Amino acid sequence: MLRLISRLILRLWGWKVHSDRQKIPSKCVMIAAPHTANSDFILARAAFFVMNIPVKFTIKKEWMFFPFNLILKPLGAIPIDRSPKEAGQKRLSYTEAMTQLLKNSPELVVMVTPEGTRKATAQWKTGFYYTALGAGVPIVLGYLDYGKKIAGTGPVIYPTGDLQKDMREIMRFYSGIQARYPEKFKLDARYMP
């Protein structure tokens, strides 16, 4: 049903999808970029339903309460609990919690927005990279290109541990993608070739 609704949303908004589903690993970090508007989530979520990619996204456990959980769970929300499991333990960082989640899941495609905000930001957050590296999973480059009205997936990046090299490859790919609000979408200059 959600796939049918998603097809309708994309058709009404004039969008197409492009993905080689066979190349998407069953366990990976999926970048969703650019992220400059609230509607990006609707488009990305709809596109992943249409592409039959079982993408999930993390959310603070505090948000998974009735009635929101009735909407968020079918959309792919996974609650993250970062609190210590035992007295005296430190609170997990979001990256550590996501790394554990991926390590403990036989199959999981988790969507992240590395810009970290819908506002213009000069630096991308690298937690997604360290999550993938720590969990030993690849990074798939998902995108919304407003210039072409295409939602899709690009290259699969296997983190090498060389952040500079791998992020340069990621920036190269996204340099050709147009955001809904181009003035809000910035590539991270630290990793530009």
Task: Give the integer Cα–Cα distance in Å for 125 and 129.
Answer: 9
- The secondary structure of residue 108, as a DSSP letter, is E
On the CB side of 122, how many CA atoms lie within 13 Å of its CA?
Answer: 2
Global pTM reads 0.89
43 contacts 15 by C-beta, under 8 angstroms = yes
SS (H, E, C) 69-89: HHHHHHHCEEEECCCCCCCCC
CA angle 16, 22, 25 (to 5 degrees): 105
Instruction: Write the CA distances from 31 to 8, 56, 111, 114, 130, integer angstroms.
Output: 24, 11, 6, 7, 13
Render each residue's pLDDT in the chain as its tens digit; 193 residues.
889 999 999 999 999 999 876 789 999 999 999 999 988 999 999 999 999 999 998 888 887 778 888 888 887 788 887 776 777 778 788 899 899 999 999 999 999 999 876 677 889 999 999 999 999 999 999 999 999 999 999 999 999 999 999 999 999 999 999 999 999 999 999 998 7
| Cβ neighbours around 33 below 10 Å, total | 23
Which residues have a Cβ under 8 Å from the Cβ of 157 and sit 6 or more positions away?
A: 138, 139, 140, 141, 166, 169, 170
On the CB side of 192, how many CA atoms lie within 13 Å of its CA?
Answer: 7
Task: Give the integer Cα–Cα distance in Å for 187 and 63.
Answer: 30
